[in-house]
Structure 1
Amino acid sequence: MEKRRVLCLSVCLMLSMGLLLTPAGAADKPKDYPNKPVTIQIGFGAGGSSDVGVRLLADSLKKIIGQPVLAENKPGAGGQVMWTDFKNNAKPDGYTLALVNIPQLQTVVFDPARKPLFGMKDFQPVANHVQDPGAILVKKDSPYKTLEDLLADAKARPGQVRASTTGIGSDDHLAVLDVERKANVRFNTIHLQDTPTALTRVLGGHTDVNFDNIGGFLPSVKSDLARILAVMMEKRYPDLPNVPTFKERGFDLVSSSTRGYVFPAGTPMEIVKYMEQSIKKAMEDRDHIARMEQAGLTLRFMGVEEFGKFLESQNERAKQLIGMYRK
C-alpha cells in the first residue's frame, strides 16, 4: 500500500513538472490554427523599407508558426487601396494581417478629402515591429553638402527646391512640413507612390532631395550612390556616425515611421494573442535581428495592449497634420 502511494505521488510529481516544463506559449496555441499559409498585406510597392521589414519578419515567423507567411503588395493612394481591400475582403480568421504604417494610416482615416471606407474600429492591433527614423537624402553629386546648404537654397528660392515624399499624410510629409515651419522655408513638395519610386527620382536628378526613412536609404548610401544630410533622431544613427541629427543643427525635429500589424476587427482574441507572441519570438530570433540591422531597420516590439494605446495616441497628431496640409 505504501509503495503504491509513493508511486502515485511520484507520477503526479512528474506530471506536474511536465506541465511546468511545457514550452511557453504551447498551451496557448489555438486548436487547428494555423493550418494554412498566413498572408501579410502591404500598402506599398516591393523594395521599400516597409516591404523589406515584412519579408524579413515573414522568414522568421514561418519557423515559429509552422506555416508559410506570404507578403502581398497592394500599393496605391498612400495605402488606401490596400486598406479598402483589407476592410472589404479580409476575414477575421487569423489568416490575413496588414502592415500598419503610422501616422500614414491615421492620416487616411481622418482626412475627409480621402473619403475612406474604413475606420480605426475596423482593425485589431496585434504587435509593433519597427520604428524607422526619418532622414533627408540627396544623390552623391548633389550641390547640397550639408543641411545648411539645402536650407539656404530653399530660403533663397521659395517653392523651387523639389522635395519628394512617399505620399500625402506620410511621416515623410509631416517631416517636410515640420522643416518648413521650423526653418522658415518652403519646398516644392512632390508626393510619390513609394520609396523605390522616390529613390529613382532623386538619384536620376528629377527631384532635389528625398524625405524618407533610413531603412529605405541605407542600401543606396552603402553603395555610394547617395548621401544623407541629416537624421531625424535624438542621437546619431549608429551606422552613420558622421551624419548629424537635426537637433545638432538647432532644430527640435524627431520623426519616424512606426510599423506594426493588425488583424480585421472581430478576430478571436486567442488567435490575436498567439500571433502577438509568435511575432515577439520571431523578433527575438538572432538571424532576424542581424538581417534587420543590416537593412537599417530598428526593432521595437509592442504587444496588443501597448500597440493599441500607441495607435490611439497618434490619432490627434494625425488630425493636426491633416490640418496643416488641408488649409
Structure 2
Amino acid sequence: MAASLATLTASAAFGEYPERPIEMIVAYSAGGGTDTAARTLAPFIEKYLGNDASVVVVNKPGAGGEIGFTDLARADPDGYTIVFINTPNILTIPISRDTRYTMEDIQAVSNVVYDPGAFNVRPGSEFTSLDELVAYAKENPGAVTYGTSGTGGDDHLAALQFSRIAGIEMTHVPFPGAADVRAAVLGGHITMAAMNISEAIDLVNQGELVSLGQMDEERWDGAPDVPTFAEQGYEVVMGSDRGIGAPAGIPEEALNALQDAIAKTIEDPEFLEAAENQKLPLAYRDAAGFQDYLGSLGENLQQIWDENPWVQ
C-alpha cells in the first residue's frame, strides 16, 4: 500500500510538468540557422505545454556540436534538459572519432525540419542535369569542384554517396559556412555548390543559380520545379534534420508532453507562417518514427564511413 501511495504521489506531482524552466541546448552559435529555428520553435512549445512553461535556449557551441550533445547526454533525464538535434552531425561525430556520448545516450522526441541537400551550378554551366554532370565528370575525373560547409557534414557526405553511386570522382572544397559556398559558386571559384535546398532556393528563383536536384523522397513545396535525385535515377536521400532530443531515460510523461506540444506546433498557423518566412522545409516525425529514422540513417552513414572515411 505504501509503495502504491508513493507511486500515485509521484505521478500526481509529475502531472504538473513542467514545474520549472526547460533548457533547450543548441550545439551551435547564436544567430545561425539552427539557433534561429530553435528560437522560433521554443515559444510554441511553451504555448502547448501550458502550465506557464518556459523554454530557455542555451547555446553551447564547439567541436562541431559535440560539446552541446555531450552536455545533453550527461544531463539528468528528468525532462528539463532537451537539445536541438542536427543530422548528420549528431551521428557522424561518434562514427568519425572517440566521443563522450553515443546515440544510446539520446532519446528522440520529434523531428521538425528536413532540409534536403541539393547540387547547384551557375547558369551557363557545362552541365544542367545530373546525367550531364556524371558524363562530364567521367570524361574529366576530378575536374568538378564542389563546395560544402565542411568536411563530414550532410552536403559533403551526400556528394561522396552520389560519387560512389555514379562512379565518378569530384574534388571537395570545404568552406566555413553556406554563405561562403554561395559566394564561391557565384564568383566562379568552384564548379558546384552542395547546399541545403533552402539555402539555395532564393538564388534559384532569382535565376542566379540552377539547382540540378534535391535529395528528398518527394519534392519540397518550396521548390516544386526542382526534381529529386531519385527521379533522375540516383537514389540519394540526404539532408539536415532538425528536431528535439532528450537524455535517454526521460520519463514517459515528459516525453509524451513534449512530443504532443511539438505535434500541435506543426499545425499552428502562426508557426507555419514563420517557418515559411524562414524557408524551413517542415517534416514532422514523432518520437518512435524519429528514433527509427536516426537508427537507419546512422547505419547508412556508418557504411559510407567504412567505404570512404571523410576524415583521414
Q: Is TM (by shorter chain) over 0.5?
A: yes
Q: 1:47: how far off? A: 3.4
2:37 aligned to which of 36, 42, 53: 53
- Give the whole-Å Cα distance in 2 for the aligned partners of 1:104 and 1:324: 18
- Shift of the alpha carbon at 1:118? 0.9
Counterpart residue number, 1:35 = 20
Q: CA deviation at 1:323?
A: 0.9
Q: Please say if 1:174 is aligned against 2:157.
A: yes
Segments of structure 1 that go 5 or more residues without pairing to the other structure are 1-26
Q: Does 1:135 align with 2:118?
A: yes
1:63 paired to 2:47: yes
Shift of 1:136: 1.0
For structure 2, which runs of at least 5 residues remain unmatched after alignment?
1-11
**Is 1:243 aligned to 2:229, yes or no?**
no
Q: Which residue in 1 is equivalent to 2:90? A: 105
The answer to whether structure 1 residue 283 and structure 2 residue 266 are counterparts is yes
- Decide whether the 8 Å contact of 1:163 with 1:211 is kept in 2: yes
Q: 1-side partners of 2:62 and 2:188: how far apart?
A: 24
Identity in percent: 34
More displaced 10-residue stretch of structure 1: 98-107 or 72-81: 72-81
For residue 199 of structure 1, what is the amino acid of its counterpart?
R
Q: 1:86 to 1:164 in 2, by over 3 A?
A: farther
- Following the alignment from structure 2 to structure 1, what is the Cα–Cα distance between the partners of residues 21 and 214? 41
Q: CA deviation at 1:140?
A: 5.6
Give the TM-score taking structure 1 as reference length. Answer: 0.76
Partner of 1:22: none
Maintained 8 Å contact 1:35/1:67: yes
One-letter code aligned to 1:83: F
Deviation, 1:151, is: 3.4
Residues 220-259 of structure 1: CA distance to partner in whole angstroms, max 9, x if unpaired?
4345543312222344443334333323433233333333
The residue number in structure 2 matching 1:202 is: 185
Amino acid at match of 1:98: V
Structure 1 residue 286 displacement after superposition: 1.2
User: How far off its partner does 1:180 sit?
Assistant: 0.9
- Alpha-carbon distance in 1 for matches of 2:137, 2:15: 57
Match of 2:72, as an amino acid? F
Matched-pair contact (CA < 8 Å) for 1:137–1:229 = yes
- Which 10-residue stretch deviates more, 142-151 or 282-291? 142-151
Contact 1:167 1:193 in 2 (8 A): yes
Shift of 1:281: 1.4
1:82 matches 2:68: yes
Aligned to 1:301, which of 270, 284, 290?
284
Question: What whole-Å deviation, never above 9, does each CA across 1:8-65 have from its counterpart, x for those lacking one?
Answer: xxxxxxxxxxxxxxxxxxx9974251433532413467433x4443233224223223
Assess, with a 3 A threshold, how the Cα gap between structure 1 residues 140 and 39 changes in structure 2: closer, same or farther.
farther
**TM-superposition CA deviations, 1:268-296 (whole Å, max 9, x none):** 33222211111111111112123323434
Give me the whole-angstrom Cα distance separating, in 2, the residues matched to 1:35 and 1:82: 21
1:201-230 Cα shifts (integer Å, max 9, x gaps) = 434444332223222323443455433122
State the shift of 1:262 in Å: 0.9
Q: Cα RMSD over matched residues?
A: 3.1
Structure 1 position 94, deviation (Å): 2.9
Change (3 A) 1:227 1:96: farther
Work out which of the residue numbers 204, 208, 226 in structure 2 matches 1:221.
Answer: 204
Shift of 1:194: 4.1
What is the Cα deviation at residue 144 of structure 1?
A: 4.6
Count of equivalent residues:
297
- Classify the secondary structure of the residue corresponding to 1:110: helix
SS in 1 for 2:266: helix
Are the counterparts in 1 of residues 112 and 282 from structure 2 also a CA contact under 8 Å?
yes
Q: 2 CA distance for matches of 1:182 and 1:128?
A: 28
Q: Is the 8 A contact 1:42 1:71 kept in 2?
A: no
Could you tell me which amino acid in structure 1 is paired with residue 152 of structure 2? Answer: G
Distance change (3 Å), C-alpha of 1:187 and 1:194: same
**TM-score (normalised: structure 2):** 0.79
SS at match of 1:130: strand
Letter in 2 for 1:254: V
Change (3 A) 1:208 1:81: farther
Quote the residue 1:157 is aligned against.
140
In structure 2, do the counterparts of structure 1 residues 210 and 52 end up closer, same or farther at CA, with 3 Å as the change threshold? farther
